[in-house]
């Protein structure tokens, strides 16, 4: 199916409109992260409206932006209420798991470079002391915790709240595997250091 001139004009208009909204969202330093997300969602809803996407897609995207705005008023809309966890305690958030994922990548790179796992963990503790404490682990438990993190990265299923973290983890792992071992250590360490 080829696009008509009218389709191309509409796509160009929608893209330009979205680019303007995103530029506003990211060039106004006074905006909070939540306000940026609200603007992005509204921009995306408008993008879909201009492209004449199904109304339901537009509505749900726009309403998610409204729901985020309600949080600033002390209202927790149903869509943003936490679901009851099947675990005894709720899982940690994605920011913590990104850091854990990168720690696993740094550990794996060291092992691939010839370090024994115990020495690799000690090297991580020395170079990244923040890993051995809150919110990542209970102080002194990095060695056993990092093995659990390795397993968790492999157990994440599509639709899990961490599936994008797992996807990024796999992409980074694949890229690191293509590098010479010592270069992979440097790149993995750089990824981890960006989070502090």
pLDDT in tens, 113-166: 999 999 999 999 999 998 888 788 777 788 888 988 888 888 877 767 778 888
Which residue range is the domain that position 19 belongs to? 10-80
Same domain, 106 and 185: yes
CB neighbourhood size of 125 (10 A) = 16
pLDDT of amino acid 110:
96
Task: Look at residues 37, 163, 73 and name the one whose alpha carbon lies nearest to residue 45.
Answer: 37
Task: Look at residues 189, 98, 190 and name the one whose alpha carbon lies nearest to residue 136.
Answer: 98
1: in domain: no
CB neighbourhood size of 179 (10 A) = 15
CA of 93: how far to CAs of 12, 52, 140, in Å? 37, 35, 21
3: in domain: no
Same domain, 63 and 118: no
Same domain, 105 and 55: no
| Domain boundary residue, one of 58, 80, 102 | 80
Same domain, 109 and 187: yes
d(CA 164, CA 146): 19
Same domain, 73 and 155: no
CA atoms within 13 A on the CB side of 174: 6
- pLDDT-based confidence at residue 178 (cuts at 50, 70, 90): very high
d(CA 86, CA 81): 15
Same domain, 166 and 188: yes
pLDDT of amino acid 90:
52
Same domain, 139 and 176: yes
Same domain, 98 and 35: no
Same domain, 73 and 105: no
Domain count for the chain, please give it. 2
Same domain, 74 and 102: no
pLDDT of amino acid 119:
95
150: in domain: yes
160: in domain: yes
196 or 12, which is more confident? 12
Same domain, 56 and 111: no
pLDDT in tens, 73-107: 888 888 888 776 555 555 677 888 889 999 999 99
Alpha carbon 39 to its chain centroid, in Å, reads 19
137 or 8, which is more confident? 8
């Amino acid at each position: 199916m080829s696009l008509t001139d009218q389709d191309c004009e509409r796509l160009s208009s929608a893209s330009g409109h979205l680019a303007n909204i995103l530029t506003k969202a990211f060039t106004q330093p006074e905006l909070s992260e939540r306000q940026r997300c609200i603007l992005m969602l509204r921009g995306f809803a408008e993008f879909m409206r201009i492209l004449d996407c199904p109304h339901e897609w537009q509505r749900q995207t726009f309403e998610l932006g409204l729901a985020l705005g309600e949080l600033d008023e002390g209202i927790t809309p149903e869509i943003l209420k936490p679901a009851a966890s099947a675990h005894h305690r709720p899982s940690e958030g994605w920011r913590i798991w990104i850091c854990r994922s990168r720690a696993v990548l740094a550990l794996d790179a060291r092992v691939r470079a010839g370090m024994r796992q115990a020495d690799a963990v000690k090297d991580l503790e020395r170079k990244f002391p923040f890993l051995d404490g809150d919110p990542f682990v209970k102080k002194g438990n990095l060695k056993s915790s990092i093995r659990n993190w390795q397993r968790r990265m492999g157990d994440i299923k599509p639709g899990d709240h961490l599936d994008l973290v797992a996807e990024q983890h796999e992409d980074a792992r694949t890229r690191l595997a293509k590098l010479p071992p010592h270069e992979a250590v440097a790149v993995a360490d750089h990824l981890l250091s960006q989070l502090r």
